Amino acid sequence: MFRALTSSEITQLENNGCESSQWSLVTVKDGFDPSRVRKTSFSGEINLGVYRGTVTLPGGLTVNTGIYNAVLHNVSVGDEVMIRKVDQYIANYIISDYAVIYEVTSLIVEGESSFGNGVKVSVINEGGGREVTMFDSMSAHIAYLQALYRYKPDLMDSLNTLIDAHVKERVSDRAVIGEHAHLFGCGPMRNVAVGPYARIEGVAKLNDGTVNSCQEDPTFVGNDVVAKAFIFAEGARVTEGAIVDSCYIGQSVELSKQFSAENSLFFANCACFHGEACSIFAGPNTVSHHKSTLLIAALVSFLNAGSGSNQSNHLYKLGPNHQGILERGSKTASDSYMLFPMHVGAFSVVMGRHYNNSDTSDLPFSYLIEHDGESLLIPGVNLRSVGTVRDSRKWPNRDKRKMADPHDLIIYHLLTPYTVQRVFSGVKKLKEIQSLAGHSSINYFYNGVQMSKSGLEKGLQFYDLAIRRYLGNIVVNFLRGCDEIHEEVVGDVLRPVSQMGEGTWLDISGLLTPKVALDELIEDIEQGVLGTIELINERFNEIYKNFHDYERAWVIKKICEERGKDFSQLDLGDIREVVAQWIDAVNILDNMRMADAQKEFAQTAKVGYALNGDQSDRDDEYRILHGDPSDNSFIKDLQERLEAKNKTAELLLKDLDAAIASM
C-alpha cells in the first residue's frame, strides 16, 4: 500500500522546506503529491497519503489538503488530511482520512496509554470503596453494578475481569485521530484519542483521555476546556472553560460555563453549568445550572439542582464515608442543604436546610421542607403539581442522542411499577405511623422527619389516587386495543405473558427492571454465561424491550392482591371497577394539576409587567408574552387529554356494562 519516496519526490520536498534525517523511513501512497507538503520535518516512521482536494474551514475559507508547517514523529497521515501550523510537534499518532488539524500546540502519545480507559472513579462515596472503572463503551447500568454491588465479590471479580480485558485492548503506544475529525486552535494534547467527526476547538489542555464521536452525533470540545483522565462519549459537548478530572461524560451530556467535575460520572443527557461536582454518580437527565451549586457524594438521576443547592458529607470522624441518594425526578430548591447520609424518595422536592439524616425512600412525590429548623415532610403532594407532569414529558423530548447504539437505556414514565411500589409502601408506612401514634396526634415522626396530621391524611389520599390512576392506565391501554369487550376479555387480553415482573422493581440508573431479572443477569455474569461486555449489554437490552410485558405482570398481580383473587378468578366486574376508579382518579388529579397551572396566571405572577402602565396594561403585556389559560399549550394539552380519557372511560364502561348484562 505504501512505497518509498522517489529521489525526485525527496528533492521536491526539500525544495519545499521539508527535512528528514532518514528519508527511507518516509513512505507514501501512489498518487502522493509532494507539492502539498511544505515546511515540515519528519522523523521516525512516517506514512503519507494522497492530498488532492480542499477543505472549507468555518467562515468559508477554503484551503488545500496536505501538510504545512509541522513536525511529525512516528505519524501516519491518511488521505485528504489537512495539517497546518503545529507549534511544537505531533508524535505517535495515526491521523485518519479527511481529518483537519489547524494551529495546535502539540499532539503527543508518550509511552503506552489506555487513553482514559481503566481510570478508577471514586463515585458516591469520597472515602472510596465504590470505585467505577470507566471504559469507552460504559453504560450507566454497568457502572451502577460496579458502584452499588460491592457486597457481591463474585460479581465484582467477574466484572473487573471483563473490564480489564476491554481496557487492555485499548492500550497502545499510538493514538488515532478519527476520520473527518477537526482540531482547531488547541493547546497541548497528550495521550488523547479522538473519534471520527469530533470537533475540538480552542481547548486549553487535554491529557490521558478519549473523545468518542460518530457521524450521526459528533462530539464537541470547546474553548478553554481542561481535562485529564477522561472519556467523552458520542454527542457530548464540553465547552466554555469546563474543568474535568477523572470523569466519564456520557452520550449527549453537556458540561459548560466553567463547570468543574472531579471523580464523577455523567450519563445520557445530563446538562451541568457553572457549578461543581465531586464524586457524583449522575444518572440520565441530571441538570444543574447555577454557579453556587455543589453536587457531592451522591447517587442521583433526573435531578434538577436549584441555585445554591449543596450537600455535605462532613458528619464523620473516620473520613468522608457518608453518601446521599436522591431518587429519580428529585428537585432541590434554591439554597437547599442536605447533611448526608440522606435518602430522598422519587419525584420529591427538597427545600431549606436539613440536618437529620432522613430516609424518605418509601414516601415518594413528597415535599421535604425546613420548618422551625426541623425537616417537615408533606407526603404525596407533588402528585398534584403540574411541574411533575411537565418534567416527565420534557425528559424524552430532551433526549438528544442520535447515535445508533445508545449506551443508557431509559424508562421515562412517571408512574411505573418502580414508583408505584413505593407508593404502596408509603400507604403502609403512613397507616402504621397513624396507628402507632394515634389519630389524636397533631404531629408524627418518621425516619428523621416530621409530618402533620393533615399532611399525612392528604398523603394517603394522594397515594390512593396515584394507585388507582396507574393500575387503571395499564388496564385501559390494553382494553382500548380490543375489537369487542366480551366475557373472555380478561383471560384473552390481560393475561400476563411473563411472570417476571410480579415482584420488587429496581431503578438501575434510568432502566427500570424487575429485581428477579437483574438477579438473573448478575448470576449469569458471576457464572461466566455473560462473558463479554457486549453480552451484558444485550441482556440489559432484553430487559428494556420487555418492560411493558413485565409491567403488565406487576399490575395484574396488584389488582389480584387487592381483590384477594387469583387471575383465573378475575371477572368483568373487577375490570369495570378498575376502570371506574381510574377515571375518577384521572379527573381529580388532572383538575388539581390544571388548577396548579392556573397559578402561573395569577396577579402575583404579573408583578413587574407593563412597568409604567396600569393593571389593564399589565394584564395585556403578560398575555402577549405568555398567553392566557385558554390558549396555553400545556394547559390545553392537559384539557384535551382529560376529555379524551373521559370519552374512553365512557365507551369502555358502556361496553363492560353490556358485556356483564349479557352474561
pLDDT tens readout for residues 387-422: 888 888 889 999 999 998 899 999 999 999 999 999
pLDDT recorded at residue 105: 98
Cell output for 643? 376529555
DSSP state string for 502-519: GS-EEEETTEEEEHHHHH
Amino acid found at 292: S
pLDDT recorded at residue 618: 72
Sign of CA dihedral 494, 496, 502, 508: negative
Give the C-alpha separation, 401 to 593, whole Å. Answer: 30
589 Cβ contact partners less than 8 Å away, ≥ 6 residues apart: 383, 384, 465, 466, 469
Q: Which residues pair with 264 in a beta bridge?
A: 247
Per-residue pLDDT at 594 exceeds 90: no
pLDDT recorded at residue 576: 94
Per-residue pLDDT at 197 exceeds 90: yes
User: Over pLDDT 90: what percentage of the chain?
Assistant: 76
Per-residue pLDDT at 247 exceeds 90: yes
Beta-carbon count within 10 A of 216 CB: 12
Amino acid found at 375: S
Phi, psi dihedrals of residue 500, rounded to the nearest 5°: -55, -35
What is the overall mean pLDDT for the chain? 93
Task: Give yes or no for a contact between 249 and 233, defined as CB atoms under 8 angstroms apart.
Answer: yes
pLDDT recorded at residue 604: 66
Task: Give yes or no for a contact between 369 and 358, defined as CB atoms under 8 angstroms apart.
Answer: no
More confident residue, 138 or 129: 138
Amino acid found at 467: I
Q: Which residues pair with 278 in a beta bridge?
A: 262, 296
pLDDT recorded at residue 537: 96
The 8-class DSSP code of residue 565 comes to -
pLDDT recorded at residue 606: 67
How are beta strands 66-77 and 205-211 bridged, if at all?
unpaired
Give the C-alpha separation, 410 to 400, whole Å. Answer: 13
Amino acid found at 388: T
Task: Tell me how far the alpha carbon of residue 622 is from its chain's centroid.
Answer: 35
378 Cβ contact partners less than 8 Å away, ≥ 6 residues apart: 366, 367, 369, 451, 452, 455, 458, 459
> pLDDT per residue over 330-369, tens digit each?
999 999 999 888 999 999 999 999 988 899 999 999 999 9
DSSP state string for 417-430: HHHHHHHHHHHHHH
Element (H, E) at 192: strand 189-194
pLDDT recorded at residue 596: 79
Phi, psi dihedrals of residue 310, rounded to the nearest 5°: -140, 150
Per-residue pLDDT at 386 exceeds 80: yes
- How far CA 132 is from CA of 120, 206, 232, 238, 298, in Å, comes to 5, 21, 16, 21, 14
pLDDT recorded at residue 613: 76
More confident residue, 200 or 482: 200
> pLDDT per residue over 549-586, tens digit each?
999 999 999 999 999 999 989 999 999 999 999 999 99
Of 175, 171, 186, 15, residue with least CA distance to 100: 186
> pLDDT per residue over 55-93, tens digit each?
998 899 999 999 999 999 999 999 999 999 999 999 999
Beta-carbon count within 10 A of 445 CB: 13
Cell output for 337? 442543604
Mean pLDDT calculated for residue range 364-391 = 92
3-class secondary-structure state, position 8: helix
Give the C-alpha separation, 172 to 13, whole Å. Answer: 31
Give the C-alpha separation, 382 to 13, whole Å. Answer: 72
Ranges of each domain in the chain: 406-569, 572-661
Q: At what angle do helices 547-563 and 572-598 cross, to 10 degrees?
A: 110
- How far CA 106 is from CA of 42, 87, 186, 192, in Å, comes to 15, 7, 8, 11
Per-residue pLDDT at 440 exceeds 70: no
More confident residue, 286 or 485: 286
Phi, psi dihedrals of residue 662, rounded to the nearest 5°: -85, -5
Give the C-alpha separation, 545 to 404, whole Å. Answer: 16
Per-residue pLDDT at 587 exceeds 80: yes
Confidence grade of residue 229 (pLDDT, cut at 50, 70, 90): very high
Question: Measured in Å, how far apart are the chain's first and last C-alpha atoms?
Answer: 81
User: b/e map of 254-270 (b: 16 or more CB within 10 Å)?
Assistant: bbbeebbbbbbbbbbbb
Mean pLDDT calculated for residue range 522-532 = 97
> pLDDT per residue over 92-116, tens digit each?
999 999 999 999 999 999 999 999 9
- How far CA 220 is from CA of 8, 28, 181, 258, 414, in Å, comes to 42, 31, 10, 16, 32
Q: At what angle do helices 547-563 and 417-437 cross, to 10 degrees?
A: 30
pLDDT recorded at residue 22: 95
Give the C-alpha separation, 95 to 79, whole Å. Answer: 9
pLDDT recorded at residue 621: 76
Lowest mean pLDDT: which of 320-329, 337-346, 358-367, 502-511?
Answer: 320-329
